[in-house]
Structure 1
Amino acid sequence: MRPALTRTAPDPADHAPVPDNGPVLEMTRDTFEELVAEALDRIPPELTRVMDNVAVFVEDEPPADDPDLLGLYEGTPLTERGEWYAGVLPDRISIYMGPTLRHCATRDDVVHEVAVTVVHEIAHHFGIDDERLHELGWG
């Protein structure tokens, strides 16, 4: 069973200003959320079964300090959890719609980028760092 996709109400004050990079691929939030859900569905069941205490969110824009960020994992990776790990809020994976659409030229590009970003952020949940992800082609 995949982690549930959680909806949030955006707070524009928390996000980076949207850069003007010319025309941006148009896509509804519902369609983008469906692509994220489909990417989550493609995660093998043997991995989703061991994902623990993690929630996935679609957000319009990333934090102001990193306007090009496509996704973000916030939490304690499984590899760093000890017996002390209990009673904590879920880890959070955020997938950012705005930068993804600005980065992609076609719907197929968005499908691919969302899939890569979802795998990348889930890998962080499993304790895999950016360097190793780049070596594996999931950078």
Structure 2
Amino acid sequence: MAAEDAVATTDGSFWAAVGGRPTFEKLVRTFYAGVASDPELVAIYPEQNLEGAIQRLTGFLEQYWGGPGTYSEQRGHPRLRMRHMPFKVNPAQRDRWLTHMRAAVDAIELPPLYEAELWAYLERAAFAMVNTFED
């Protein structure tokens, strides 16, 4: 997406500015392709098929960034920390998550200001999900 295209939106949301659903879907699918290839990280996902996780993360990110509110309509309040509590998320897993998410963010080739805003959020969210320092 060219920078001049990114700022020409009808609703003014980040979601629309970066290309809407197709951009977030590419981001999340690229991320989960990395997760699927990472035995230590994929082990914390309860499902064999990651499609459910792909749809949930896509919906969450779309809603967070100004897209449709489908995530909350289907699942209620995001409650990210609460939803992740059943899973051991330590700093090493956080770092693996960030490695795959960094590759995914790079793959969507956003204009620099949008990329920086998205990455800052994802990095903060990843640090907030750590719930143990045990291996």
Q: What's the TM-score, normalizing by structure 1?
A: 0.34
- Structure number with the higher strand fraction is 1
Q: What's the TM-score, normalizing by structure 2?
A: 0.34
